Amino acid sequence: MTEAFVLDPRLQADGDIAIDLSLCQVILVNNIEFPWVILVPKIPNLTEITDLNEQDSMLLMQEIRLISKVFLELFKPAKLNIAALGNKVAQLHIHIIARFKDDQAWPQPAFGLARKNYPKDEYSLMIEQIRSALCKK
Amino acid sequence: MTEAFVLDPRLQADGDIAIDLSLCQVILVNNIEFPWVILVPKIPNLTEITDLNEQDSMLLMQEIRLISKVFLELFKPAKLNIAALGNKVAQLHIHIIARFKDDQAWPQPAFGLARKNYPKDEYSLMIEQIRSALCKK
């Protein structure tokens, strides 16, 4: 019996699944301070990037680049921050965060700061914007 | 005339080039607190991962995985942290850091902390160990 992929509940608590790509679920982090998504490959028991087979690792790079392009176009950030950390939640997940010179953490990393939820309508609108930009790719 | 790749002096100051791969120079960060390398693609004017062409982005993923495998085997960390931030140094560079549950920053990210140089012999030995492990791949 093939083991099913189950999203770690701590990642699930970060926000809704905004997009479902071939390899990854893409969660929009519910934090109005930064445009921030988390890509989670839908394969069970992954911790490190080396746990992916080579083909899936290439697909991961493609999906990171795809979401990066959407973020660069939509938000025009000073820099994207892309990171696979996982010290707290071991399930392999990749952060993509749009950073701005006037954001609350610049030039430090955005991890570990207090988060502030979007107003509900604004969160839905963000998901729609990201989906719509993605459809044009 | 083709523009040449020049390593940003701030990355150069992080440590010596331990390995020269097809795409990336690999710097061993001179910080005894964490086994830490920085991969820098040898192509001028890169800032984001999307600035690479598709083929080079695949090569970057291969080299990230190669060094990750070496780090996992050599150091047996609790987790690898892999990150392309670049808020301070825009030249595209990817950190790979071996993290341990008893390191000084766990479970927080390792960025931005005070660094402590290796004793000179120990630094050379680290480079030799990494090169040697890489040759067996």
The pLDDT tens digits for A1-40 are 678 999 999 999 999 999 999 999 999 999 999 999 999 9
Q: Using a CB-CB distance cutoff of 8 angstroms, which residues of chain A are in contact with residue B72?
A: 48, 50
Residue A50 with chain B: CB contacts under 8 Å: 65, 68-69, 72
At residue A12, the pLDDT reads 98
First vs last C-alpha separation in chain B: 36
- The whole-number pLDDT of residue A96 equals 98
* Residue A123 vs residues A36, A43, A75: alpha-carbon distances, Å: 12, 27, 15
pLDDT at B69: 98
Tens of pLDDT, residue by residue, chain B (137 residues): 678 999 999 999 999 999 999 999 999 999 999 999 999 999 999 999 999 999 999 999 999 999 999 999 999 999 999 999 999 999 999 999 999 999 999 999 999 999 999 999 999 999 999 999 999 88
Q: Listing from the earlier edge strand, what are the strands of the sheet with A36-41?
A: A15-20, A24-29, A36-41, A94-99, A79-84, B79-84, B94-99, B36-41, B24-29, B15-20
Instruction: Kindly identify which residue of chain A lies nearest to residue B88, measuring between CA atoms.
Output: A107
Token pair 């509940």 is at which residue?
A9
Of B129, B104, B92, B100, the closest CA to residue A81 belongs to B92
Q: Which H or E run includes A71?
A: helix A54-75
In chain B, residues with a C-beta closer than 8 Å to the C-beta of A49 are 61, 64-65, 68, 80, 82
C-alpha–C-alpha distance, residues A28 and A19, integer Å: 9
pLDDT at residue B1 in the model: 61
- What is the Cα–Cα distance from B31 to B11, expressed in whole angstroms? 13
The HSE-up count of residue A29 (CA atoms within 13 Å, CB side) is 25
Q: How big is the CA angle at B98 (ends B77 and A58), to the nearest 5 degrees?
A: 100
The distance in angstroms from the start CA to the end CA of chain A is 36
**pLDDT for residue B12:** 98
Contacts of A72 in chain B (CB under 8 A): 48, 50
How far apart are the C-alpha atoms of A82 and B15, rounded to whole Å? 22
Rounded mean pLDDT, A67-72: 98
- Closest alpha carbon within chain B to A56: B61
Nearest Cα to A48, choosing from B41, B136, B76? B76
Contact B60 A58 (CB under 8 A): no
The token pair that represents A43 in the structure block: 């394969």
pLDDT reported for residue B136: 87
Kindly determine whether residue B112 and residue A109, on different chains, have CB atoms separated by under 8 Å.
yes
pTM for the full predicted model: 0.97
Question: Mean of the pLDDT values across residues A38-57?
Answer: 98
Residue-by-residue DSSP string for B99-135:
E-TTSSSTTS--TTS---PPPHHHHHHHHHHHHHHHH
Mean of pLDDT over chain A? 97
Amino acid at A13: A
A103/A107 Cα distance (integer angstroms): 9
Interface of A with B (CB under 8 A): 47-50, 54, 57-58, 60-62, 64-65, 68-69, 72, 78-88, 90, 99, 106-109, 111-112
Q: Are A85 and B79 in contact (CB under 8 A)?
A: yes
Q: Least CA distance to A101: which residue of chain B?
A: B87
- The 3-state DSSP class for residue B74 equals helix
* Contact of B87 with A81, CB cutoff 8 Å: yes
Which residue among B49, B79, B99 sits closest to A65, beta carbon to beta carbon?
A: B49
Alpha carbons B90 and A80: distance in angstroms, whole number: 10
Asked if this assembly's ipTM is beyond 0.90, the reply is yes
Nearest CA in chain A to B90: A79
